Structure 1
Amino acid sequence: MPGPPPKLICGVVVSAGKMMKAVKVRTAKQTYNNFLQKHFQSHDSYLVSDPNSSLRAGDVVKIAPERQISRHIRHVVTEIVAPWGPSIEERPPVLNAEERARRVQEKTERKKERRRVRNSEKGESAEDKVEGMIEGTAVAS
């Protein structure tokens, strides 16, 4: 049984086009000051994955946490709420969850194939390595 759906966060793109496949999104929040006993406006900034580079600075977007994509990127764009500048139809589409999962799976398949080719060029197979590790005589690379 899958867990609860991810928490969607609404924010504004503040930096786009400076990083490949990533944008910075600022979300609004309030913090409470105990001494003054008052709420103040604050914000959080997130680096968000944008694989098709479809976002522009000023766009209002919804983001959701997902698997860790790189060292600092842990969120993905799920929807453009209000575009700034060119309309949504003129931009590349935002990927949905199924497309993102398919891309990840294709990437791992390509990686496995590269490893198979590399191991076959060395003259050893992955099964030989596993058998050697089990027996305690690991094959030196």
Structure 2
Amino acid sequence: MAPSNLLRSTAKSAGRITPTFPVQTRYATAINSRRSIWDFLGGNKPQDQTPKEEKQVEADQEQQKSSTETQRLDTETSTTTTTTTQSSPNIIEQVQEVEEEILSTPSPNKTAEEQAFWPADLPLPSLRQYPYTLNRGTVTSVGLMDKTVRVSYQTREWDRKVRKYYPKTVTYLVHDPRNSLRQGDVIEFSSGAPRAPRVRHVVERIISPFGVAVEDRPAVLTREEREAEMVNKRMEKLVRKAGKVAAEEGVDVEKATRRVVESKEHIGRIRALVIERAAAEAQTNA
């Protein structure tokens, strides 16, 4: 830049005057005082909407209203309590009368399904017997499935190449009928009747409990109790089916029950062969 231009720029900057404004303008004071600009320009001063005396009168009126409402609610509650105390014995008497009428009235004719029963001369339904082995393991997971726990079983595996045993951990899903197992328990479980596609073992007893004592848990079912429960379930199922058959075909309930039980009775292959041979021998001897 030329020296002349530098001199001109410095002269202009020296002759420039910076205006001085007040710190707070009239408009800013109006905003800070929460007054509208139109009231400010018109010269109207802010006034309270209601004087102090009117405010006191309104407060007294509100207190009177609240007191009257509380008195009214107290009277209503007292009247309701008296009516309920008076009507409660009447309601109890009415309920008792209705129960007596229901018990005294003869029951309507039951359907064939409700009349179905297990004949006394019929033997109990047989269960298929599975060979089983007893193993010991530790419960590693509880609560993810209903009546099923995860158990780790420690065993050994023979390596034919090295010709040596190596430790191996196998995980089983074990059936727990009463949800009596806890994580960390050492139990004895057995293989047997399948409960699900992946559940083929059932707990037999708790060897060493972890955490909660055995007395504070539901009892573990024995093999006899489990078999009795399965027999009862099978009986109920066959009776329901016999009732449906009797209702559909219009046959006697007892006859339908006998027919269904005979058709659903499980007979093994060897037992069936023995029965056939015995029947054939009886016919030849006759």
* TM range, smaller chain: 0.7 to 0.9
Q: TM-score, normalised by structure 1?
A: 0.78
Please list every run of 5 or more consecutive structure 2 residues that lacks an aligned counterpart in the other structure: 1-128, 264-286
Q: 1:101 aligns with which of 227, 230, 235?
A: 227
Q: 2:134 aligns with which of 1, 5, 8?
A: 8
Note if 1:70 corresponds to 2:196: yes
- Cα distance, 1:20 vs. partner? 1.1
Q: Which has the larger radius of gyration?
A: 2
Q: TM-score, normalised by structure 2?
A: 0.41
Bigger shift: residues 62-71 or 87-96: 62-71
- Cα distance, 1:117 vs. partner? 1.8
- Cα distance, 1:37 vs. partner? 4.7
Identity of aligned residues (%): 33
**Which residue identity lines up with residue 29 of structure 1 in the other structure?**
T
The equivalent of 2:119 in structure 1 is: none
Higher helix share: 2
Note if 1:91 corresponds to 2:202: no
Counterpart secondary structure, 1:74: strand
Aligned residues, how many? 126
- Output one character per residue of 1:28-79: Cα deviation in whole Å (capped at 9) or x when no partner: 0122334455433211111111110000111100001121222222111111
Q: Distance in 2 between matches of 1:97 and 1:75?
A: 12
- Output one character per residue of 1:8-40: Cα deviation in whole Å (capped at 9) or x when no partner: 100001111111111111100122334455433
RMSD: 2.3
Bigger shift: residues 27-36 or 58-67: 27-36
Q: Which has the higher contact order (CA 8 A, sep 6+)?
A: 1
Q: 2:175 aligns with which of 33, 49, 59?
A: 49
The equivalent of 2:241 in structure 1 is: 115
Q: Distance in 2 between matches of 1:119 and 1:37?
A: 62
The equivalent of 2:89 in structure 1 is: none
Moved over 3 A (4+): 32-39, 124-128
- Output one character per residue of 1:89-134: Cα deviation in whole Å (capped at 9) or x when no partner: 0000000111011000001011011101221232355549x7xxxx
Counterpart secondary structure, 1:81: strand
**Which residue identity lines up with residue 146 of structure 2 in the other structure?**
M
Please list every run of 5 or more consecutive structure 1 residues that lacks an aligned counterpart in the other structure: 131-141
Higher strand share: 1
